[in-house]
Structure 1
Amino acid sequence: MTTPSPLLARPGAVAVEPGPEVPRTVAAHYGDPLREQRLLAEGAGLVDRSDRDVLSIPGADRLSWLHSITSQHVAQLVDGVGSETLVLSPHGHVEHHLVVAELAGTTWVDVEPGAGPALLAFLERMRFMLRVEPHLVTDDRALLSLVGPGADAALAAAGLPVPAEPYAVEPLGEGWVRRMPAIGNGTAVVHDLLVPRAEVDALADRLGVPLAGAAAHEALRVEARRPRFGVDNDHRTIPNELEWLRTAVHLDKGCYRGQETVARVHNLGRPPRRLVLLHLDGVSEDLPAPGEPVLAGPRTVGRVGSVVRHHELGVVALALVKQSVAQGTALTVAGSTAAIDPDDAAPALDDTQVAARNRVRAVRSGTIG
């Protein structure tokens, strides 16, 4: 989508910095990023996320087809329910992250800005003779997010449906409302609203809540440790290293591409890296870029993804670090000192995982056959 959102014309709007595949189409903030963060953390605000790519997938075979080529159990997804799922490489590396909504005979998928064409090309290659018709509809549909502890009340006051549980989907005219897991400290409710682009202005006015920029949403997403595809992962990332193992992978479903890696690492209980929240000293005006190395002395022990200025936590980042990096290790990122958040200590293995790991070591050493 290359046309700027109508909400970018609202007073105070400052556009997000464009990427190689994504032009300036939505607002990073509306004049006061930190105040907008507090709004989402304590009240309710509307975030323009209409730069996300959207696909519609009608067709009688859509759910069984998606089930066979992605990581989540979606074969029996019922009307009015959403999910998250992944496309993995044969070696289990994450290639696409999809957020799904099933409604009225169509499966809707939204993905990161600029990721839609590559996903559509992959889906087209996997169609074979099945009754599925994936389409990229970003030019016609826009995704907005109503965020905050007051989000439910704001929907109700506007006379709009209020999904009660995470991933529940309710119809909204020619679109829908989908509840997502909360962000921030766990109290900032998120409702995604998919609407025709021509109705974005009218919906914003109907909801009657202040606008908040993408930067505010990003800060609360980082606080909640929710990864963003293309930013918080790299070409080596497997689901086990991120919370996607919990939200976008079904560990008991049948075969899909990359499943062997996911299952093996899960059974051993120790993925190569883990996602942590890093606290940076915040001295520099320039934030580290995604992909910047995390150093322990001269040694590279990870990479940063999203880096934000949080209204309470200061400068924080999501980072993938090696499992061997202990809590309290002195770290640096782009010259700034960094520390792993106390809540992100490496989890202990359970008895089953310890036994599996010991067996692998024994096989490798030749102790047992």
Structure 2
Amino acid sequence: MRSPLLDTPGAVAGETPDDSVAAHYGDLYGEQRALAAGQALVDRSNRGVVRISGPDRLRWLNDLSSQKLDTLEAGIPTQTLLLDGQGRVEHHLTLVDDGDAVWAHVEPGTSGELVAFLDKMRFMLRVEVADIGADYAVVSVAAPGSTPGAGAGTGAAAEGVVAIGGDLLVPRDRLAGLPAELGLRPAGLWAYEALRIAAHMPRLGFETDHKTIPHEVGWIGAAVHLSKGCYRGQETVARVHNLGHPPRRLVFLHLDGSVDVLPPHGAPVTLGVGKPVEAEPEAAVEGAAEPGQLGFVGSSARHYELGPIALAVVKRTVPVDIDLLAGGVAAAQEVIVPPDAGRNVKIDPALRRRIR
């Protein structure tokens, strides 16, 4: 569904899956600064919007997903994941309960599959699931990971807009006039993505693939509650957290600023130039597209302060102090998920002897 904000002078459309919203409006760094200062609105209306109503909604979602939702207070934004039976991430939801229903937004093109799955899991419970993306659009009025300013969503929410932290769910017929209505300048998705990468926040389908588990990208805590009841995929989460390590880890990359290209999504991460062969981990990433591949680039951007940056997923055993190449661009690592993530239970050697 093409956004009407693409008709704004200077608007340039993004790339799939964000081609129906603006990547920028001709002032990339100015848009980033405005968004960081809480003075801009980012059109994310290509995202799916789902509404779940009924008196059993929170208990039901708590049983299905990774976050503790049965005691969620109205107005408190949170995140949750739906996992498959092996603990691999299938859906990432950003949501809030308004006292009558749960409102959630998800990645572009995923709401239909999500609603179909939720409908199959209703059984005899008092819940109703609706895909309302045709009626509501997502916009963001605060930088990713930040707390929105006092006026960012308060006034709008009183007029029928649902606030989920710095995100607003607004009726689509108000989208075209919303920047003027809220007194905010439009900023493109490139501005949002640059600040998201700088905030070390993964995005489903970019920093994840078909085998991603929550520990690998740092969703433990933000979207996973480690002390709640059973849900599909919990066994993997508990096993990694208590006894093992995730096979891969999310890293932040400072890219070589002298290169005029950014590595695209999926570009291979390999060992940096000039490193000795013995410094390379013992095996490449499973399914690597080229010899020596250690991981893949998730997202990259040009940040108004940090310069070219990226998020990547690499094999856990890649040393944290070596330089890498991201799609051929020299890159220095910054740790997000440490190599020793997980394995939080320490076995007392004396206890082990008694067990034997």
Structure 2 counterpart of 1:323: 316
Aligned to 1:220, which of 195, 198, 223? 195
Structure 1 counterpart of 2:292: 299
Q: CA deviation at 1:43?
A: 5.0
Query: CA offsets per residue over residues 23-53 of structure 1, 9 Å max, x none?
Result: x321111111122112223452111111110
Range moving further from structure 2, 254-263 or 291-300: 291-300
| Richer in helix (by share) | 1
> How is 1:280-295 mapped onto 2 (pairs within 5 angstroms)?
280-295=255-270
Structure 1 counterpart of 2:240: 265
Supply the distance in 2 between the matched residues of 1:61 and 1:254 (Cα, whole angstroms).
Answer: 16
Structure 2 counterpart of 1:147: 142
Q: CA deviation at 1:337?
A: 1.5
> How is 1:61-72 mapped onto 2 (pairs within 5 angstroms)?
61-72=56-67
Structure 1 counterpart of 2:204: 229
Q: CA deviation at 1:351?
A: 9.4
Q: CA deviation at 1:239?
A: 0.6
Structure 2 counterpart of 1:176: 162
Supply the distance in 2 between the matched residues of 1:154 and 1:58 (Cα, whole angstroms).
Answer: 28
Supply the distance in 2 between the matched residues of 1:11 and 1:53 (Cα, whole angstroms).
Answer: 26
Structure 1 counterpart of 2:179: 204
Contact 2:54 2:128 in 1 (8 A): yes
Structure 1 counterpart of 2:325: 332
1:310 to 2:310 alignment: no
Q: CA deviation at 1:276?
A: 0.9
Structure 2 counterpart of 1:14: 12
Structure 1 counterpart of 2:225: 250
Range moving further from structure 2, 242-251 or 125-134: 125-134
Length-normalised TM-score, structure 1: 0.83
Structure 2 counterpart of 1:167: none
Structure 2 counterpart of 1:94: 89
Query: CA offsets per residue over residues 326-359 of structure 1, 9 Å max, x none?
Result: 1221311222122202x54836579954538x99
Range moving further from structure 2, 247-256 or 205-214: 205-214
Amino acid at match of 2:158: L
Supply the distance in 2 between the matched residues of 1:308 and 1:83 (Cα, whole angstroms).
Answer: 26
Q: CA deviation at 1:254?
A: 0.8
Residues 350, 252 of structure 1: alpha-carbon distance in 2 compared, 3 angstrom cutoff: closer
> How is 1:3-152 mapped onto 2 (pairs within 5 angstroms)?
4-19=2-17, 24-147=19-142, 151-152=148-149
User: Unpaired runs of 5+ in structure 2?
Assistant: 272-279, 281-290
The number of aligned residues is 335
Range moving further from structure 2, 219-228 or 70-79: 70-79
Structure 2 counterpart of 1:355: 347
Q: CA deviation at 1:82?
A: 2.5
Supply the distance in 2 between the matched residues of 1:351 and 1:43 (Cα, whole angstroms).
Answer: 39
Give SS of 1:231's match: coil
Q: CA deviation at 1:247?
A: 0.6
Aligned to 2:338, which of 343, 346, 349? 346
Residues 43, 82 of structure 1: alpha-carbon distance in 2 compared, 3 angstrom cutoff: closer
Amino acid at match of 2:77: G
Contact 1:44 1:151 in 2 (8 A): no
Contact 1:45 1:211 in 2 (8 A): yes
Query: CA offsets per residue over residues 54-99 of structure 1, 9 Å max, x none?
Result: 0111122211111111111111222222311000011101010011
Give SS of 2:177's match: helix
Amino acid at match of 1:327: V
Q: CA deviation at 1:120?
A: 1.1
Supply the distance in 1 between the matched residues of 2:344 and 2:37 (Cα, whole angstroms).
Answer: 42
Structure 1 counterpart of 2:286: none
Query: CA offsets per residue over residues 174-201 of structure 1, 9 Å max, x none?
Result: 331222xxxxxxxxxxx21111111123
Give SS of 2:332's match: strand
Give SS of 1:84's match: strand
Range moving further from structure 2, 300-309 or 33-42: 33-42
Structure 2 counterpart of 1:166: none
Length-normalised TM-score, structure 2: 0.86
Supply the distance in 1 between the matched residues of 2:208 and 2:332 (Cα, whole angstroms).
Answer: 20
Residues 257, 287 of structure 1: alpha-carbon distance in 2 compared, 3 angstrom cutoff: same
Amino acid at match of 1:132: V
Contact 1:326 1:346 in 2 (8 A): no
Residues 225, 200 of structure 1: alpha-carbon distance in 2 compared, 3 angstrom cutoff: same
Residues 221, 71 of structure 1: alpha-carbon distance in 2 compared, 3 angstrom cutoff: same
> How is 1:151-162 mapped onto 2 (pairs within 5 angstroms)?
151-155=148-152, 160=155
Contact 1:307 1:317 in 2 (8 A): yes
User: Unpaired runs of 5+ in structure 1?
Assistant: 162-170, 180-190
